[in-house]
Amino acid sequence: MTAIVKRWWPLAALAALVCVPYLQIPVPGVLPDVLNRPGSLQLIAICLLFAGFAVTYDLLFGHTGLLSFGHALYVAAGSYTANIVVTKLHWGWGPALIATAGVGLLLPVLLGAVALRVRGIAFAMVTLAFAQVGSILVMSARITGGEEGLSLSDTPEIFAGVANTFRLYWLALAYLVLVVLVVRWSVESEPGRVWRAIGDNERRVTVLGLSPYRFRLLSYVLSAFLATLGGVVHLLLLGGSNPQITTSAFTVGLLVMTVLGGAGTRWGALLGGVLYTYLDQRLAALAGSDAVAGLPAAVRLPLEQPQFILGVLFMVVVYFLPGGLAGLSQHLAGLSRHWRRAT
CB neighbours of 300 closer than 8 A, spacing ≥ 6? Answer: 292, 293
Q: Running along the chain, 343 residues long, what does each successive block of 10 average in pLDDT?
A: 63 88 83 84 94 96 93 96 92 93 96 93 95 93 90 74 77 96 94 87 82 93 97 93 91 93 89 92 74 69 74 82 75 60 65
In this structure, the dihedral spanned by the alpha carbons of residues 164, 167, 172 and 177, taken in order and rounded to 10 degrees, is: 180
Predicted confidence at residue 340, as pLDDT, reads 66
Q: Which ranges of 88-209 would DSSP assign to H, the alpha helix?
A: 93-115, 120-140, 164-187, 190-200, 202-207
Task: Look at residue 241 and give its three-state secondary structure.
Answer: strand
Rounded CA-CA distance 215/194 in Å is 7
CB atoms within 10 A of CB 165: 18
For residue 168, give the nearest of 12, 14, 20, 10 by alpha carbon. 20
Predicted confidence at residue 259, as pLDDT, reads 92
In this structure, the dihedral spanned by the alpha carbons of residues 331, 267, 63 and 332, taken in order and rounded to 10 degrees, is: 0
Question: Residues 235, 17, 232, CA angle at the centre, nearest 5°?
Answer: 15
Predicted confidence at residue 198, as pLDDT, reads 86
What pTM was computed for the model? 0.90
Rounded CA-CA distance 235/249 in Å is 18
CA distances from 172 to 37, 184, 219, 323 (A): 16, 18, 23, 27
Domains of the chain: 2-266 (1.10.3470)
Predicted confidence at residue 285, as pLDDT, reads 73
